Structure 1
Amino acid sequence: MLLISILAGTLTLLWSCDPAVVDVTPPSVRLLEHQPASASAMICGQQEDTVFQLKGGDTLYFRIEFDDDVALSEYKVDIHHNFDCHGHGGGAAPGFSPPTQEGLTQDWSVLETYPLQGSKDQVERWLVVPESVTAGNYHYHIQVLDEAGNDSPFTTFYSLQLQNPADTQAPSIRVDTPASSSFSASKGETIRFSGQVSDDLPLSQGGNGLLFVTYTDLRSGNTFTTSVVEPFTADMDKDYFFDAALNIPSTLVAGDFLFTVRAHDGVRNVAKPVEFQVKVTD
């Protein structure tokens, strides 16, 4: 009897330590239906094949199937703005922190979790874009978790391009100085940026509008906002003439940089930036 008990205990121990009973397989996500249809579009300087384009008041619809080898637990819907061009996951591109201006529009933000049943489940959702949405790029992410805690964090990650129906046209930037798009400047030297921002509607309409200058270290790819930040005030009309002086930081390491003049209007339609290749010297 003692031998039988020992053998039974040994078999139980071996069974409990069998790695085959440990669920390490992440669940899967399959997109069955989506409205509107996706399009190919430029997002933060990169071409993306699956981008969903909507206006304020539109509905984002999806029907999705989740599958797991053992048991599903829950899924999460995450929508947040990507105004800073940040990335997610390994190898994601670095973002930058654009200056903010308190506006009258509404950033679209969704962070909701729903339960799932069994090892396979289908769900559908209708998500309405705020009517007064802040225009721009957004991230749209669906994440699923099984009962063992396994997930597939970046399998369903898409971009949204949203427009505010009150103003769908981006402004334009004209830079008069510097006259050349490529030049050298020494640390501590002052660069003058002057020109005009023009739009079809008052630049202040919506409250988010501003002009600003960034620089990018071409060795690291990191982008930083400079001291040149000029909000479009409430009395601003369709044209804004700027003349700003930027002192090149003495802390920069000599090398190649990209200085960029950027602007967006009051609902945050982004103008095509104007870039300058600058070799910073000691």
Structure 2
Amino acid sequence: MKKKFYFSVVCLLAAGSLMLVSCDKDEKADVTKPEIELKAPKEGAVLKIGDEHGVHFDMDLSDDVMLKSYLIEIHSNFDNHTHTKSGDGTVVFAFKKSYDVSGKRNAHIHHHDIKIPENATPGKYHLMVYCTDAAGNEQRIPERNIVLSKDAPDHDDHHHEH
């Protein structure tokens, strides 16, 4: 009887030790959100509708362990909700695309993937960027207010090969 009792106590102590070791590992898990430094477009930027070169997008991402992906989203800010203007032949512009940056702790992002078509509805829009690290921690920048306009200056603020 004593052997069964001691065996049970040893098993309970072993199980408890395993749980404490597991808890210790959890405390060291990656809980730090990645960092986003969005350089362009700036807050209040006026972006040209129909610019064949696309929107100049520039940012730096970093994480203490490992990055996974980032998402760019643009949606309208007309009267603080999305709707299509009728009668003028334009279409409310929307953009949502995810990009893989797995295997990197730091990433410099520079591209012109966002193309605003000729028939996009001019007006106020929101730009949002989200970044997720390998552990699933997500960071996002506060919404940036941007304006889509046919009268915006041409995209010639930087000249270099891509």
| TM-score where L is the length of structure 1 | 0.43
1:77 aligns with 2:63: no
Q: SS in structure 1 opposite 2:19?
A: helix
Residues 11/132 of structure 1: CA separation in 2 closer, same or farther (3 Å cut)? same
What are the Cα deviations for residues 83-122 of structure 1, in whole angstroms up to 9, with x where unaligned?
1225xxxxxxxxxx87852541132211101111222222
Q: Residues 172-201 of structure 1, C-alpha deviation per residue, up to 9 Å, x if partnerless? A: xxxxxxxxxxxxxxxxxxxxxxxxxxxxxx
**Aligned with 1:16: secondary structure?**
helix
| Distance verdict in 2 for CA 1:120–1:82, change over 3 Å | same
Aligned to 2:156: none
Report the equivalent of 1:224.
Answer: none
1:125 is matched with: 111
Corresponding residue for 1:162? 148
RMSD: 2.9
The answer to whether the Cα contact below 8 Å between 2:56 and 2:111 also exists between their aligned partners in 1 is: yes
Q: What is the alpha-carbon distance in structure 2 between the residues aligned to residue 99 and residue 81 of structure 1?
A: 9
1:14 aligns with 2:20: yes
Matched, 1:54 2:60: no
Q: Which of the pair is proportionally richer in helix?
A: 2
The normalised TM-score by structure 2 is: 0.70
**Counterpart in the other structure of 2:86:** 101
Rounded to whole Å, the distance in 2 between the matches of 1:98 and 1:144 is 27
Segments of structure 1 that go 5 or more residues without pairing to the other structure are 39-49, 87-96, 166-282
Q: Which of 98, 101, 104 is matched with 1:113 structurally?
A: 98
Distance across 1 between alignment mates of 2:150 and 2:92? 11
Looking at secondary structure, tell me which structure has more strand per residue. Answer: 1
Highest RCO, 1 vs 2 (Cα 8 Å, sep ≥ 6): 2
Query: For 2:34, which of 12, 24, 27 is the aligned residue?
Result: 27
* Percent identity for Structure 1 against Structure 2: 29
Structure 2: state its 5+ residue gaps: 1-6, 152-162
Query: Which whole-Å CA distance do the structure 2 matches of 1:100 and 1:130 have between them?
Result: 16
Identify if the C-alpha distance between structure 1 residues 69 and 107 changes in structure 2 by more than 3 Å, giving closer, same or farther: same
Amino acid at match of 2:86: Q
Paired residues of 1:133 and 1:164 also in contact (CA < 8 A): no
1:82 partner letter? N
